[in-house]
Structure 1
Amino acid sequence: MENKTSLKIRNLVKYFHEPETFQVLKGVSFEVKKGEFLSIVGKSGSGKSTLLYVLSTMDTDYEGTLQINGDLLTGKTQNQLAAFRNEHIGFVFQFHYLLPEFSCLQNVMLPALKLGKYSTKEIEHKAYESLRLLDIEGQALKSANKLSGGQQQRVAIARALINNPSIIMTDEPTGNLDSKNTEAVLDIFRGLAKENGQTIICVTHDKDFANNTDRTIEMADGLII
Structure 2
Amino acid sequence: MNALKANHIIKYFRTPEPFEVLKDLTFEVSQGEFVSIIGKSGSGKSTLLYLLSTMDTDYEGTIEINGTTVTGKGQNELAAFRNEHIGFVFQFHYLLPEFTLLDNVMLPALKLNRKSKEEIENRSLVLLQMLDLKGQEHKRASNISGGQAQRVAIARALINEPTIIMGDEPTGNLDSKNTQIVFDIFKQLAHENGQTIIAVTHDDDFAQKSDRIIELMDGKIIS
Give the TM bin, normalised by the shorter chain. Answer: over 0.9
CA separation in 2, counterparts of 1:21 and 1:208? 35
Write out the 4+ residue segments of structure 1 that deviate beyond 4 Å after TM superposition.
Answer: none
CA separation in 2, counterparts of 1:147 and 1:38? 29
1:12 aligns with 2:14: no
- Aligned match of 1:148: 145
Q: How does 1:19-98 map to 2 (within 5 A)?
A: 19-98=16-95
1:202 aligns with 2:199: yes
The one of 85, 109, 114 aligned to 1:117: 114
Q: How far 1:132 moved relative to its partner?
A: 1.0
CA separation in 2, counterparts of 1:217 and 1:121? 41
Q: How far 1:19 moved relative to its partner?
A: 2.2
The one of 132, 138, 142 aligned to 2:129: 132
Q: So what's the TM-score if we normalise by structure 2?
A: 0.99
Q: How far 1:137 moved relative to its partner?
A: 2.4
TM-superposition CA deviations, 1:133-172 (whole Å, max 9, x none): 1111221100001000000000000000000000000000
Query: Alpha carbon RMSD of aligned pairs, Å?
Result: 0.6
TM-superposition CA deviations, 1:103-123 (whole Å, max 9, x none): 000000000000000111111
1:186 aligns with 2:186: no
Q: Partner letter of residue 17 of structure 2? A: E
- Same amino acid, percent of matched pairs: 68
CA separation in 2, counterparts of 1:18 and 1:176? 31
Q: Partner letter of residue 152 of structure 1? A: A
Q: Partner letter of residue 180 of structure 1? A: K
- Aligned match of 1:161: 158
TM-superposition CA deviations, 1:83-126 (whole Å, max 9, x none): 11000000000000000010000000000000000111111001
Q: How far 1:68 moved relative to its partner?
A: 0.4
Unaligned runs of 5+ in 2: none
What SS class does the counterpart of residue 167 from structure 2 fall into? strand
What SS class does the counterpart of residue 137 from structure 1 fall into? coil
**Of 215-224 and 137-146, the range deviating more from structure 2:** 137-146
Q: How far 1:77 moved relative to its partner?
A: 0.8
Unaligned runs of 5+ in 1: none
CA separation in 1, counterparts of 2:198 and 2:96? 24
Q: Partner letter of residue 158 of structure 2? A: L
